[in-house]
Amino acid sequence: MKVAVFGGSGYLGELVAERCDSRGHQVVALSRNPGRGTWEHRRCDLTAPGLGMDENTREVVAESDVCVFAAGSVSWQATSTESLQIHDRGIAALLRLVESAKRAPRIVHVSSILALGEPEKPVTSDQLYVGQRFRNWYEYGKYVAEHRVRHSNTQHNIVRFGPLLGVGYDRTVPSTGDGLPAIFPLVLAGYPLPLTDGGRYPCYVGDVFGAAELVADMVEWTAHGRTITWFDPENPSLLEILSRVCLPFGKYPRVLKADVKRGEWLLRMAMRRIGTDSNLADYAHPWIEVHCGADLENAGAARCRKDYIQAMSAAMAGQVWPARIEARSVHA
């Protein structure tokens, strides 16, 4: 099949392109920056007029069998203009391009568990709007993008991921500029972290390799509007995640047990004082409850590798983690 991967040079997108290429698909990676794989690369910019594509590239997309929407890096500090340029107007322009093709490609849309914002009740994969509030423009942008895909005249399936960790294509690791990984430098530097219940609550992380494998599976599925939420079935707590990150560095996280909800304003002020994103305070307490056990069963082919968090941390430290990252079933 011909597969167009938008965001094909990103942490997840580049690995998706590699997984699809390894399965024998004809892959075209589209992004603002050239990728590193041997597959075809073309320029695309969701914030530019005409998506920054030349006419030949538009034809390549229109002739694809499947389009993977995986563009847009995580940025909690994005303004409304920056976020909506990509996740609203950019996605809308992509959908118009797909819908105008003579034989419209199927779509695999990579969404985020953050598209659910902060609801007041448990949420399942069948839901999107549940009266939730959104803590930053990135969350709202992901919500708008998924809403547009859901209500488009396309054949599509949607997958939501939580924070993705692990070692990606060519030993890449996630950026520590935003989201959960932004906490890692603070922990490794020895900063004490006040966390509700000492961080003993889940953050729905997943292995980027398993996530890419699942997207490659979905490329080969029949599209009928499914929405899947996928994460590590072990569902480690934030404390467990931070402990595994610290392990290759020979450290242990300094966690303070506190009711962060009551003093969240004080924590945000302290984070601003040390020069980090105050939005990280959102990880200092439980923020969502997701009910999606059936999703993990339906996505049984996708796996998380053993020690993927420690392997990522070792790569961050310039080390080679012992070869204990063989795949394991999500049902293990």
Residue 184, domain member (yes or no): no
Neighbours of 15 (CB within 10 A): 28
C-alpha 7/C-alpha 44 separation (Å) is 9
pTM of this structure? 0.90
Number of helices and strands in the chain (H, E): 11, 15
CATH number at residue 49: 3.40.50.720
- Whether 31 and 14 have beta carbons less than 8 Å apart is answered as no
| Residue 124: per-residue pLDDT | 82
Residue 228, domain member (yes or no): yes
C-alpha 326/C-alpha 312 separation (Å) is 14
Residue 97, domain member (yes or no): yes
- Whether 108 and 218 have beta carbons less than 8 Å apart is answered as yes
Query: What is the residue range of 294's domain?
Result: 2-172+205-233+289-304
Residue 137, domain member (yes or no): yes
Residue 260, domain member (yes or no): no
What is the DSSP pairing of strand 40-43 with strand 26-31? parallel
> Which DSSP symbol is given to 313?
H
Residue 102, domain member (yes or no): yes
C-alpha 308/C-alpha 313 separation (Å) is 9
Chain-centre distance of CA 297, in angstroms?
20
Q: What is the mean pLDDT of each run of 10 residues along the chain (332 residues)?
A: 96 96 97 89 93 94 96 83 93 95 94 91 85 90 96 94 94 89 88 84 92 94 88 91 94 80 62 62 77 60 85 91 48 28
Residue 329, domain member (yes or no): no
DSSP string, 48-77: SGGGG--HHHHHHHHT-SEEEE------TT
Residues linked to residue 237 through DSSP beta bridges, in sequence order = 202
Residue 213, domain member (yes or no): yes
What is the DSSP pairing of strand 304-305 with strand 327-328? antiparallel
**Number of folded domains that form the chain:** 1
